[in-house]
Structure 1
């Protein structure tokens, strides 16, 4: 499983997930450009390709505070995610699935769900999309 996660990360960081250049990239952890996500209640983002908030394809690390929950919502395009730290969850149809560090999940476009980070430790995620990121709250 860790080999699979490493391959996914390598493809993303080399530009493969976005069809980008072969120029490579390097982001040691202490150089990641962290910023607060506007309206994100403590969620932080470090874009490593494109921009999660500017539209278009992106690759980004996302840090959720421990105990932070997102109410029911959908995304306009598939959202592949690797969980690097903490325990993240997605909940749909009354079923909650836990994703501890080392997990991978793919949320399909327009899939109604709630999500969040369990209490105890912040969650660190790596996400990428070929299209733009969006979060559409359900009413």
Structure 2
């Protein structure tokens, strides 16, 4: 008996094979956004860091340092292609434009809550790792060269 597979069944089977990779990539991108993205461009002082680190669940234990990138998430994602990025080192991408960033550094002896942070704000070039066109890791930031 010969069984004919319908095109719909084939599409379903192909989709099952691609779904886990897509979901994993989507999870890594969401985690990047959770840890490093904040669209707000105001109020980046110590209080901001204390609030954001707690809100982003990075205070149990106190994370030593974390950097938030401000602005438009599409501009950050564009670093993964040639719209706003260029190759940098081993599989990394460097932004062509500077981003407003806030780096929060833990200023206390204990890694236990309550955590206290000091804020450092600046405009910086950012270096990220991308997977399938999405940012998944913030590697470093540095001061842009003067024109």
TM-score by length of 1: 0.25
- Richer in helix (by share): 2
Higher gyration radius (CA): 2
- Richer in strand (by share): 1
